[in-house]
């Protein structure tokens, strides 16, 4: 049975093979290369040679065989010299943003221990934020690297959909899922991307056109809104800035389209297993699967038309090398004792800000930005489809020129 390891902020899981696995991977991959010296943690959705994939669900774990080889994303980082430190906790079947698993508990947010860490890549983000790993693989479907990165005050990226090989990885919703990752700095973020995408990110000196959006202002908590308005003034001193007037981005409609299409794909992929195995699941995950089972064909067709509109709209907004800059999520992480209604409100507002990149398959990076109520809130850069390199370049420049944390080390 998979067990959560004590200590290390509850970020890691073990099936009893961690030391043997580390030794085997070290012998196979050597530890030399561009990522030498960086400790790597991996979300428990990736195949790792000799280990089973648990995906945060005991019944799922029990049915899996040991992987005969590691997923391409894992292998690429190990081949580049990263040092294995372990597999990390994920929210159940990755179908959550909270960072709370009914079976394995909730990893402790090192940046705000009285608040949630965010999910579903909860263990990976906590491993990095807590100093137990320098880089960590996660996945991002509806925000599962971007939101936790914001909550825990680290760097996290969702690449362009399909840009990074996702073979050997548990899939939740095939047209939304991406490999994602966390790191302690812009430099480490870039080095990981270069290995995963087999591409170079050249240094950049100039900040290109930026876009900010009035549509997010009403979603933000008051302190975050004040900070964003002040940030817009700062950005105008660095580069040309276009303000999208309210009503340009139908965020509520896009979030609903994402929810329906994601649920339809999840039920297509996992519905038979859930129906036949009837596994014990957390109440929140059970409710989401029940809702996914009720999604109808006509509803999917209507939401797919909205998705096409979202793709076209975002392409226009980001034309000519422009990048969208806004807070990753509207609030710091909810407190551990927050009410059900309060958590749902934050989730709904967050989903509206996370949906555009996911719906249109765009790259989005969250970087450390500010603190509200003593807890982190991240700042995001969203780029045009395929312009992951530009997103990384811009995020680094903004972090340096705005004096944000983690830019250069």
Alpha carbon distance 264, 297 (integer Å) = 9
β-pairing, 3-4 vs 12-14, is antiparallel
Q: Is there a catalytic annotation at residue 144?
A: yes
How many Cα neighbours within 13 Å face the side chain of 109?
28
Provide φ and ψ at 2, rounded to 5°: -65, 135
91 is written with which tokens? 């929210």
Of these residues, 43, 372, 380, 399, which one is catalytic?
43
Tracing tokens 């799922």 back to the chain, one arrives at 60
The burial of 408, by beta-carbon neighbours within 10 Å (0-12 exposed, 13-18 middle, 19 or more buried), is given as exposed
Rounded-to-integer distance, Cα 43 and Cα 381, Å = 24
User: Catalytic: which of 120, 122, 150, 264?
Assistant: 120
Q: How many other C-beta atoms are found inside a 10 Å radius of the C-beta of residue 113?
A: 11
The residue annotated as part of the active site, out of 144, 185, 372, 399, is 144
Name the helix (H) or strand (E) containing 213.
strand 210-213
State the angle between helix axes of 18-29 and 72-79 in degrees (0 to 180), rounded to the nearest 10. Answer: 60
Structure tokens at 100: 């709370």
Residue 94: other Cβ atoms inside 10 A: 29
Contacts with 224 (C-beta within 8 Å, 6 or more apart), sequence order? 327, 330, 331, 370, 372, 377
Question: Using an 8 Å Cβ cutoff, are 84 and 54 in contact?
Answer: no
Q: Which of 184, 174, 145 is nearest to 363 (CA)?
A: 145
Q: Where does residue 49 fall: left (phi above 0), alpha (psi -120 to 50 degrees), or beta otherwise? A: beta
What is d(CA 103, CA 11) in angstroms, rounded to the nearest whole number? 14
SS (H, E, C) 241-294: EEEECCCCCCHHHHHHHHHHHHHHHHHHHHHHHHHHHCCCCCHHHHHHHHHHHC
Furthest CA-CA distance within the chain:
59
- Catalytically active residues are 43, 120, 144
């Amino acid at each position: 049975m998979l067990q959560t390891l004590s200590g290390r902020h509850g970020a890691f899981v073990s099936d009893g093979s961690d030391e043997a696995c580390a030794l085997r991977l070290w012998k196979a991959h050597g530890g030399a290369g561009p990522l030498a010296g960086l400790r790597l943690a991996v979300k428990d959705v990736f195949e790792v040679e000799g280990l089973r994939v648990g995906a945060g669900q005991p019944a799922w774990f029990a049915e899996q065989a040991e992987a005969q080889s590691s997923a391409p994303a894992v292998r690429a980082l190990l081949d580049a010299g990263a040092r294995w430190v372990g597999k990390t906790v994920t929210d159940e079947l990755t179908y959550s943003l909270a960072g709370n698993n009914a079976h394995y508990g909730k990893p402790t947010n090192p940046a705000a221990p009285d608040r949630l860490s965010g999910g579903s890549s909860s263990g990976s983000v906590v491993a990095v934020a807590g100093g137990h790993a320098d880089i960590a693989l996660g996945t991002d479907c509806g925000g599962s690297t971007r939101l936790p990165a914001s909550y825990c005050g680290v760097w996290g990226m969702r690449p362009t959909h399909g840009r990074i090989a996702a073979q050997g990885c548990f899939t939740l919703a095939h047209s939304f899922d991406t490999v994602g990752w966390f790191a302690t700095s812009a430099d480490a973020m870039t080095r990981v991307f270069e290995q995963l995408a087999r591409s170079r990110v050249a240094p950049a000196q100039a900040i290109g056109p930026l876009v900010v959006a009035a549509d997010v202002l009403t979603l933000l908590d008051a302190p975050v809104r004040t900070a964003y308005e002040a940030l817009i003034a700062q950005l105008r001193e660095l580069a040309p800035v276009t303000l999208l007037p309210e009503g340009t981005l139908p965020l509520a409609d896009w979030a609903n389209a994402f929810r329906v299409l994601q649920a339809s794909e999840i039920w297509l992929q996992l519905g038979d297993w859930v129906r036949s195995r009837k596994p014990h699941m957390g109440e929140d995950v059970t409710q989401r699967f029940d809702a996914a089972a009720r999604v109808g064909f006509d509803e999917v067709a209507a939401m797919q038309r909205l998705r096409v509109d979202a793709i076209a709209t975002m392409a226009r907004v980001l034309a000519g090398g422009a990048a969208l800059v806004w807070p990753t999520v509207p609030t710091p992480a909810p407190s551990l004792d927050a009410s059900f209604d309060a958590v749902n409100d934050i989730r709904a507002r967050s989903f509206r800000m996370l949906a555009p990149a996911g719906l249109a398959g765009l790259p989005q990076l969250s970087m450390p930005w500010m603190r509200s109520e003593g807890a982190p809130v991240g700042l995001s850069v969203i780029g045009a489809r395929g312009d992951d390199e530009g997103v990384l370049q811009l995020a680094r420049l903004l972090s340096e020129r705005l004096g944000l944390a983690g830019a250069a080390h």
